[in-house]
Structure 1
Amino acid sequence: MSIPPPPGPQQPQGQYPHGGPGSQAPYAYNPYAPYGPYGSYGRQTPVNGAAIGALVLGVLCFLPAVGLVLGVIALLQIRKRGERGKGMAVAGSVLSSIGLALWVLALSTGAAADVWGGFKDAANGEGTPYALAKGDCFDSPTGNLEGEAYDIDEVPCSGRHDGEVFAVVKLPGGAFPGDDEVTRIADDKCYALQDTYAMDGWAVPDDADVYYFIPSRRSWRFGDHEITCLFGSTEENGRLTGSLRNDATTLDADQVAFLRAMRAVDDALDGEPDDYAEDDLLANQTWAGEVADVTGAQAKALSGRTWPAGAGKPVADLVEEMRDASREWTAAAKSPYADDYYEHYDEAYAYVDGRTTVTARKALGLDTTYPTYEDDSEGADGGGSAAA
């Protein structure tokens, strides 16, 4: 690296008016040498690097103490070397001094901690749907759980809220699978997982339904590979009140055992064929036989358990009705004609969620409000989705 010549008139190299190489005589005056910030041969004097660094740090207000030190060093080097950049050094020093004063003020008032907390929250996705976890409740700034969602406000589940998360489904990495595929996965997973969070469907309000946050193509690029399943109200401007969670974390062992048995029967009933027995008797007979087996097995499981005081007889009465229902389902499965099939079908359904079920639930401290079910065939509105 060459050292720049000192400022002022200089003799071009190769000319020795007072002697050859090594002569100690001073250079002769060269009338063609430029003046000012230029050295010999018209080369511009370089800008001091420390001055540039001081200005950059001063403008960015980043490491103001370093910027101030660089500014002082730059001024000393410029004076000694004759380099350019004095204005940059002065400006950087002034801006760094102001930045340093602001940092001292921020530290003394606690504002710096708030700023750092904001950086950490942003890095963790705090305040966005991406940060929600199972059991969290939140409000949407728009009060709407459909469309695109950019930010949310987490709130206690004990009060009123727009949504409650009941599951988070991790998606594999790689390329974005597409909006349709992500929505399909959300439909399958979220509706299947709702009962693991809210085991007692009777305790879920009639206006509560399944919604979900799904990643968009844009958020996928930033690492958003999760589907957030949640409960929300289907009513216009409707909200949920209190947590809907009722699982092993909030229920006792007897309540969990009872609800699992009832859920198994409900799942079997949900598998009823779409075709009537007149159109497809075999399919309906097969389904009735499956319901008979499940109902009988769950009756046996309930009867083999020791229940707390006050719940033994109500549960025993329910078990007897479940056994009667199982026999009717078995008869329906063997019916040779559709009319005969429906006679046993109606008798079996008479035992489902009847008076004995309500009595047993009350004895176990479970909800006794009989739920209402919407007919999907009539196009009832369900939940929805939002892109995170």
Structure 2
Amino acid sequence: MSIPPPPGSRQPRGPYGPPPADRPQAYRPYGTPVSVNALAVAALVLGVFCFLPAAGLMFGLVALRQIRRSGQSGRGMAIAGAVLSSVGIVLWAVVLSTGAAHKAWEGVKDGAQGNESLSLDKGDCFDAPGGLEGDTYDVDRVPCEGGHDGEVFAVVTLPGDAFPGDARITGIADERCYALQDQYAMDTWAMPADVDVYYLMPSRESWRYGDRAITCLFGNTEAGIKLTGSLRGDPTTLDTGQVVFLSTANALDTALYEEPEKTPDDDLAAHRAWAGQVHDVLGEQIEALRGHPWPAGARRPVADLVDGLEDAREEWKRASTASDADAYYRHYDKAYGSVDGPATVTARKALGLAATPPAAGERESGDSEAQV
């Protein structure tokens, strides 16, 4: 028979006897509340949401060690958080190694943006399921050889962080797109009569996702009618002689386009000044035509054209000093007689360019836009 120790000398015992002397006391008096390890909770949360999986794994392992020493609850949460975080680390490694993260983010941006305007480049042809009028939410790039709704001839990038407003963007598109069209389709005589300039513009919503592009494009003026074949005619598709000829012709057309709105009867001074500007531009273009080494078949036709331009230049000079509107009109009519006349047609034929002058007013600017 054993004699029990005196009261107060008993040590609490667990199912396997007292703890070793070298281990921290892990026993609690009966009825003491058991606390939940905070790191176990954090590990479980990070593991479930797959957010910072490396931190979730670390918290889970540390929590298990603390629970063993302190006797706190939460072991199951720590294990679950560690396992889920380990799975999360593997998944992130796969996503990053395959580039899926970048693709997914681009998909999110495109979905929120509601358009693919940023993916269109100069020279691209595309179809727009909703047409070129109104809001455009999607475009499909297609070969230019077949039928297509639009052909991109320029992309203008807008500066700034704040959305400038629809009216401001439309004004920039009008100014820049019409100015850039002849750099892509240099031969204005070759442009079909039913083709005009359109543009895709950023919307307020797409601007928030980085869309800063005004996409300038050609499209048919008749809804539902597609373009066929590329309209591109620039140094990438033309020879040097054709580029020089068209550059001089387009520079002269630009100068002539600046004619004052008021008539010489109402504002003779403005017309005189404009006539002087045309005279100066003609001088530059004549010099360029004379200085180029033309192929044998085009030398004579180009020389005849230059002679006619010299006569026109002299008439513009006289118009710039006309004493009254009647005198101005006489020189004005003679000067215009040498523009796009028979000599121009002959020179164009010799250079393999379009030889049928466009009808008057055939390519006046419209107001064609789509917002993306």
TM-score by length of 2: 0.75
Question: Counterparts of 1:145-184 in structure 2 under 5 Å?
Answer: 145-184=132-171
Work out whether 1:133 is the aligned partner of 2:121: yes
Q: 2-side partners of 1:148 and 1:79: how far apart?
A: 64
Which residue identity is paired with 1:177?
A: P
The answer to whether the Cα contact below 8 Å between 2:34 and 2:72 also exists between their aligned partners in 1 is no
The answer to whether the Cα contact below 8 Å between 2:35 and 2:72 also exists between their aligned partners in 1 is no
Question: Counterparts of 1:262-281 in structure 2 under 5 Å?
Answer: 262-281=249-268
Q: How far apart are residue 301 of structure 1 and its match? A: 2.3
The answer to whether the Cα contact below 8 Å between 2:37 and 2:72 also exists between their aligned partners in 1 is no
Aligned to 2:186: 199
Q: 2-side partners of 1:147 and 1:272: how far apart?
A: 33
Aligned to 1:11: none
Using a 3 Å threshold, how does the CA distance of structure 1 residues 54 and 355 change in structure 2: closer, same or farther?
same
Aligned to 1:321: 308
Q: 1-side partners of 2:301 and 2:189: how far apart?
A: 18
Secondary structure of 2:343's partner?
Answer: helix
Work out whether 1:291 is the aligned partner of 2:291: no
Q: How far apart are residue 304 of structure 1 and its match? A: 2.7
Over the residues paired in the alignment, what is the CA RMSD in angstroms?
Answer: 4.1
Secondary structure of 1:311's partner?
Answer: helix
Aligned to 2:317: 330
| Deviations 1:295-338 (CA, angstroms, capped at 9, x unpaired) | 23322321232201211111111111111212222232333232
Secondary structure of 1:384's partner?
Answer: coil
List gaps (5 residues or longer) in structure 1.
1-16, 29-38
Aligned to 2:369: 385
The answer to whether the Cα contact below 8 Å between 1:158 and 1:241 also exists between their aligned partners in 2 is yes
The answer to whether the Cα contact below 8 Å between 1:138 and 1:152 also exists between their aligned partners in 2 is yes
Q: 2-side partners of 1:74 and 1:159: how far apart?
A: 66
Aligned to 1:349: 336
Using a 3 Å threshold, how does the CA distance of structure 1 residues 281 and 53 change in structure 2: closer, same or farther?
closer
Aligned to 2:107: 122
Size of the aligned set, in residue pairs, is 342
The answer to whether the Cα contact below 8 Å between 1:55 and 1:93 also exists between their aligned partners in 2 is no
Q: 2-side partners of 1:56 and 1:120: how far apart?
A: 19
The answer to whether the Cα contact below 8 Å between 1:52 and 1:85 also exists between their aligned partners in 2 is no
Q: How far apart are residue 157 of structure 1 and its match? A: 2.1
Secondary structure of 2:296's partner?
Answer: coil
Query: Which 4+ runs in 1 deviate beyond 6 A?
Result: 77-82, 87-94, 112-117
Aligned to 2:26: none
The answer to whether the Cα contact below 8 Å between 2:130 and 2:136 also exists between their aligned partners in 1 is no
Work out whether 1:219 is the aligned partner of 2:217: no
List gaps (5 residues or longer) in structure 2.
1-5, 15-29
Q: How far apart are residue 115 of structure 1 and its match? A: 6.2
The answer to whether the Cα contact below 8 Å between 2:109 and 2:209 also exists between their aligned partners in 1 is no
Using a 3 Å threshold, how does the CA distance of structure 1 residues 124 and 259 change in structure 2: closer, same or farther?
farther
| Deviations 1:245-264 (CA, angstroms, capped at 9, x unpaired) | 22122211111111111112
Q: 1-side partners of 2:126 and 2:76: how far apart?
A: 55
Identity of counterpart residues, as a percentage? 50
Q: 1-side partners of 2:202 and 2:256: how far apart?
A: 34
- Return the match for 1:366 from 349, 353, 366: 353
Using a 3 Å threshold, how does the CA distance of structure 1 residues 124 and 370 change in structure 2: closer, same or farther?
farther
The answer to whether the Cα contact below 8 Å between 2:234 and 2:243 also exists between their aligned partners in 1 is yes
Using a 3 Å threshold, how does the CA distance of structure 1 residues 86 and 311 change in structure 2: closer, same or farther?
same
Q: 2-side partners of 1:141 and 1:92: how far apart?
A: 49
Q: 2-side partners of 1:199 and 1:208: how far apart?
A: 14
The answer to whether the Cα contact below 8 Å between 2:37 and 2:67 also exists between their aligned partners in 1 is no
Secondary structure of 1:351's partner?
Answer: coil
| Deviations 1:207-256 (CA, angstroms, capped at 9, x unpaired) | 22222222222222222222222222221212222222221222111111
Secondary structure of 2:178's partner?
Answer: helix
Aligned to 2:287: 300
The structure whose RCO (Cα within 8 Å, separation 6+) is larger is 2
Q: 1-side partners of 2:279 and 2:176: how far apart?
A: 28
Q: 2-side partners of 1:320 and 1:176: how far apart?
A: 52
